[in-house]
């Protein structure tokens, strides 16, 4: 094998890197180890599969193993990289067949992704209790929700699927009530999905508002939207325990019956635990690799770790935050794809920055479109050295006389000393989400609020009032800065 580029993990970051590298360095070998059977699937699409809006599990696959092979990439599924020897420049691999092997590398990319954490709750072996971070879980939950006589096995139409687990879940009685533990992205998206499947849904959130990274203005509006559609939202209400028909938290193939929160017991035939993810970094545990926020692998502007010729990208790696200039951990799809692609070029000989992150994120909650970017949290802003000033405005999304305008809440945060815009959020029913990209671009360009207020943004009655809601917010925030 000539001068091999070894990639660990065959999802967004890993396969983007391998594909880009393959095109730019046709004379070198590239091998991708993937511990499981799944490759290149859309995490973000799983709630929509469960909702039924996406018809087939296969719709969520971007690339098949044979397409990867056609690109000239040596893909080895069922091969787990268990350790890295950065002096010898080798990785130790254990195959699902029981075989062990040692693979030398010239360059190594760790793209091992993240895993769902469950907090104090053990969902293993409990029927009706799920996390949602892999395709087998999505297929199993979908099968569990369907009444046994109505489940269509063609929904899980991918050979890699854990068919036994699907069949077991399909045989269970259909749930009527659902409890979602955690009101982040996954929680909110799953609330919509399960409501769409006809379940009576209760969403439990530890803190006082949903979607904490989006800030209170967004979280409160989303809670109101969920309530209005019939999802019961419990904020400030952490789940204390899962109740099964066995002893709580114990026993294989017990079935979920309820959750306990705020001293009450809420019946639940289905529980989704969505309390966050953590980076998968175990394979580097015995190295001197540096880690950063969230325990993710620290990387520089080219995706390099502190180990020679070892890169990291995707949900297991940090990136540089455009606003703070510091390491940050933002496990999202674009970050992974972009960093993978850049590292593929860099390893192939063209140094390419992975790009900074701005923490840009959007989420749909029924008719509400939510967006956030940058630093919204007061403490986080102060810790990064800013003196944050914030304003929230409510403005129409269209000219007042044009039908269909929706109240749009915009929050902007700036640094008092420099006037620099450091964060923003938006929520509304009419094209709100994509508007956050304007704020992201401003943040990454280092604009002040005064500069932002003077941006020549588009106006036409069906799409915006004369003053776009973002400009209204900037005007108000700039007024606060000037009067301060």
Pairing of β 90-95 and β 264-267? unpaired
| Extended strands (E) in 30-95 | 30-34, 74-77, 79-85, 90-95
The verdict on 197 binding its own copies (CB under 8 A) reads: no
The verdict on 193 binding its own copies (CB under 8 A) reads: no
The verdict on 113 binding its own copies (CB under 8 A) reads: no
The verdict on 463 binding its own copies (CB under 8 A) reads: yes
CB of 98 to its own copies, least distance (A): 36
Which residues are bridge partners to 471 per DSSP?
Answer: none
The verdict on 435 binding its own copies (CB under 8 A) reads: yes
Sign of CA dihedral 473, 476, 482, 484: negative
Determine phi and psi for 340, rounding to 5 degrees: -60, -50
Among 12, 32, 231, 481, binds its own copies (CB under 8 A): 12
Among 357, 422, 476, 477, binds its own copies (CB under 8 A): 357
Among 93, 158, 440, 476, binds its own copies (CB under 8 A): 440
d(CA 464, CA 309): 49
d(CA 201, CA 240): 18
CB of 470 to its own copies, least distance (A): 8
Q: Which stretch binds its own copies (CB under 8 A): 64-72, 256-264, 386-394, 457-465?
A: 457-465
Told to judge if 44 belongs to the known catalytic residues of this protein, a careful annotator would answer yes
Among 21, 33, 38, 48, binds its own copies (CB under 8 A): 48
Cβ distance 442 to 355 under 8 Å? no
The verdict on 44 binding its own copies (CB under 8 A) reads: yes
Among 110, 362, 413, 477, binds its own copies (CB under 8 A): 362
Q: What tokens appear for 477 in the block?
A: 């925030």
DSSP string, 335-385: HHHHHHHHHHHHHHT-------B---EEEEETTEEEEEEE---HHHHHHTT
| Identified catalytic residue from 44, 95, 282, 320 | 44
CB of 18 to its own copies, least distance (A): 16
The three-point CA angle 305-311-315 to 5° equals 95
The verdict on 399 binding its own copies (CB under 8 A) reads: yes
The verdict on 445 binding its own copies (CB under 8 A) reads: yes
CB of 460 to its own copies, least distance (A): 5
x/- map, 301-340, its own copies, by CB under 8 A:
---------------------x---------xxxx-xx--
Q: What tokens appear for 154 in the block?
A: 């063609």
CB of 407 to its own copies, least distance (A): 16
Which of 272, 240, 242 has the alpha carbon at shortest distance from 257? Answer: 242
The verdict on 351 binding its own copies (CB under 8 A) reads: no
Distance between first and last Cα of the chain: 65
Residue 345 CB-density burial (10 A; 0-12 exposed, 13-18 middle, 19+ buried) = buried
> Which residues are at the interface with its own copies (CB under 8 A)?
12, 42, 44-45, 48, 53-54, 59-60, 322, 332-335, 337-338, 353, 355-364, 369, 371, 373, 399-403, 431, 433-438, 440-442, 444-447, 451, 454-464, 466-468, 470
Name the residues annotated as catalytic.
44
């Amino acid at each position: 094998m000539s001068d091999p580029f070894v990639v660990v993990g065959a999802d967004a970051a890993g396969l983007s890197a391998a594909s880009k590298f393959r095109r730019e360095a046709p004379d070198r070998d590239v091998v991708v180890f993937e511990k499981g059977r799944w490759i290149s699937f859309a995490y973000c699409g799983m709630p929509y599969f469960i909702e039924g809006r996406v018809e087939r599990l296969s719709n969520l696959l971007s690339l098949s193993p044979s397409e990867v092979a056609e690109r000239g990439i040596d893909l080895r599924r069922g091969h787990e990289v268990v350790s890295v020897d950065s002096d010898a420049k080798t990785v130790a691999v254990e195959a699902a067949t029981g075989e062990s092997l040692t693979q030398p590398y010239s360059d190594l990319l760790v793209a091992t992704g993240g895993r769902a954490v469950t907090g104090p709750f053990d969902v293993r072996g409990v029927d009706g209790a799920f996390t949602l971070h892999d395709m087998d879980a999505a297929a199993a939950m979908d099968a569990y929700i369907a009444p046994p006589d109505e489940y269509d096995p063609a929904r899980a139409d991918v050979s890699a699927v854990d068919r036994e687990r699907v069949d077991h879940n399909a045989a269970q009685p259909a749930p009527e009530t659902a409890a979602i533990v955690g009101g982040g992205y996954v929680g909110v998206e799953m609330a919509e999905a399960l409501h769409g499947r006809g379940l009576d849904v209760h969403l439990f959130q530890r803190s006082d508002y949903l979607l904490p990274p989006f800030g209170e203005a967004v979280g409160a509006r989303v809670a109101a939207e969920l309530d209005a559609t019939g999802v019961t939202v419990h904020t400030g209400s952490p789940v204390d325990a899962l109740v099964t028909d066995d002893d709580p938290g114990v026993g294989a193939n017990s079935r979920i019956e309820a959750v306990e929160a705020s001293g009450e017991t809420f019946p639940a035939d289905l529980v989704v635990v969505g309390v966050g993810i953590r980076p998968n970094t175990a394979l580097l545990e015995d190295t001197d690799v540096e880690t950063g926020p969230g325990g993710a692998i620290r990387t520089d502007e080219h995706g390099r770790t502190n180990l020679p010729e070892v890169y990291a990208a995707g949900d297991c790696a940090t990136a540089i935050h455009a606003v703070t200039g510091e390491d940050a951990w933002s496990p999202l799809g674009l970050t992974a794809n972009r960093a993978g692609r850049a590292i593929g070029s860099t390893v192939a000989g063209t140094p390419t920055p992975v790009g900074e992150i701005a923490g840009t994120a959007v989420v749909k909650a029924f008719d509400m479109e939510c967006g956030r970017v940058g630093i919204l949290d007061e403490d986080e802003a102060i810790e990064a050295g800013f003196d944050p000033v914030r304003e929230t405005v409510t403005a129409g999304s269209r000219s007042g006389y044009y039908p269909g305008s929706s109240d749009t809440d915009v929050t902007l945060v700036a640094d008092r000393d420099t006037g620099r815009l450091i964060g923003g959020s938006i929520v509304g029913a009419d094209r709100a989400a994509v508007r956050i990209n304007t704020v992201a671009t401003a943040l990454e360009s280092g604009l002040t609020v005064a500069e932002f207020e003077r941006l020549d943004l588009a106006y036409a009655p069906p799409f915006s009032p004369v003053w776009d809601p973002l400009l209204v917010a900037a005007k108000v925030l700039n007024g606060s800065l000037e009067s301060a």
